[in-house]
Structure formats: C-alpha cells, structure tokens
Amino acid sequence: MHSETLEYTVDGESFTGYLAYDDSIDGERPGILVIHEWWGHNDFVREQADRLAALGYTAFALDMFGSGKQADNPTDAAALMNGVLETPGAVKQRFHTAMDLLQKHEIVDGARIAAQGYCFGGAVALNMARLGLELKGVVSFHGTLDSDIKVEPGTVKAEIQVYVGGADDMIPADQVAAFVKEMQTAE
C-alpha cells in the first residue's frame, strides 16, 4: 500500500490531505474523495481512505478546514464547521480543488470519481451531488439530509447511497421522508 500526505492550497490557505492506493495494481483506477466529520481531518478519515485503497480505489481524504485545524469537543467542532459553511462558496471551492487534484493524479481514471462522507462530510458529499458535479457516486454516512440547494430534475448525475440510523435524533424521520421526496422529484 502506498500512502502520502499532500499539502495543497485553496485561495492562498494551506490544506493537508491524505492519498492512499494499492501500488501493486497497475493502471488507472477509480478515485474516491473521503470527507471528514466536523472534528476535522483526523485518523478516522485516513483509516477510511486506507480501507478504500485496499479495495482497489485511489482514495483522497481531503481537508475542509485547513491544515492542522481539528476539534476535540462539540463547541470547537461546530465553530470549525460553521466557519466553512458561513463563508460563501468555501465548501464547493474546497471540495472542487480536492476533486481536481484527485482527477489529475496519474493513476486515477478522472472520469470515475466518487465521494464518501461522514456527518458533516456526508452532507458535503450530498450537496456536491445536488449541485450536479461530475461524480459517479456519493455515499453519505449520518450526514444531514436537508439543504438550501433546490435540485431540478436532471441535475444530479451521481448514484446516491445514504445511511442514517432509524433512531438518530440528528436526522429525524421527517428529514428522511423529505429527502426521499426531493430525490424522487429530481428523478
């Protein structure tokens, strides 16, 4: 297995991602962007990238907050997350920069890119699909399902999988039902 830390910039700010792939496989393979929880880019998201790499993908655990920005309590995590969410265009720009980096990697089939996220990252992945980014698939684990983005039929290009807990207070049943209706309406 090959893994490396990648430093990159978005709007002059430093970000630190993590790239992993099985170097015993020849040729191009699909790429997966792995988006962290509100805690920031940490060991969990890097472990998920390693697992996906072991399955034959090139996985890039991107950084949505900036190099070294992590939280260890909900108050700080919310501040990091809201700082990005409240900055116009920041989520899309940071995601798109990481996606471009992954697509251009020499062992990645740039036409086969997916995104997988957890909690905050799951919501980011879903919103990138809602915006119509050229993603083959999106997987959201415990990501909020509501969004201000209004999806029109034909906008979503990605196949979508969403995993939420039936008794999850953060994602109540009415939010799930509204999401199902939204996706049906968007075809």
C-beta of residue 178 within 8 angstroms of C-beta of residue 145:
yes
Distance between CA 95 and CA 101 in Å, rounded?
Answer: 10
CA angle centred on 146, ends 141 and 150, rounded to 5°:
125
Task: State the pLDDT at residue 3.
Answer: 96
Torsion region of 33: left, alpha or beta (phi above 0 gives left; psi -120 to 50 gives alpha): beta
DSSP H helical ranges for 55-133: 74-85, 90-103, 120-130
Structure confidence at residue 134 (pLDDT): 94
Site of tokens 């890119």: 113
Beta strands of 133-182 (E only): which ranges?
137-141, 159-163
84 secondary structure, DSSP code: H
Could you read off the pLDDT tens digit of each residue along the chain, which spans 187 residues? 999 999 999 999 999 999 999 999 899 999 999 999 999 999 999 999 999 999 999 999 999 999 999 999 999 999 999 999 999 999 999 999 999 999 999 999 999 999 999 999 999 999 999 999 999 999 999 999 989 898 889 899 999 999 998 888 888 888 999 999 999 988 8
Which pTM does this prediction carry? 0.93
Tally of CA atoms within 13 A in the half-sphere of 116 that contains its CB: 15
Say what the pLDDT of residue 150 is. 83
Domain boundaries, the chain: 2-185
Q: Choose the CATH number for 2-185 among 3.40.30.120, 3.40.50.1820, 3.30.56.10, 3.30.30.10.
A: 3.40.50.1820
**pLDDT of 165:** 87
How far is residue 152 from each of residues 63, 85, 90, 146, 178, measured CA to CA in Å?
A: 29, 22, 23, 15, 15
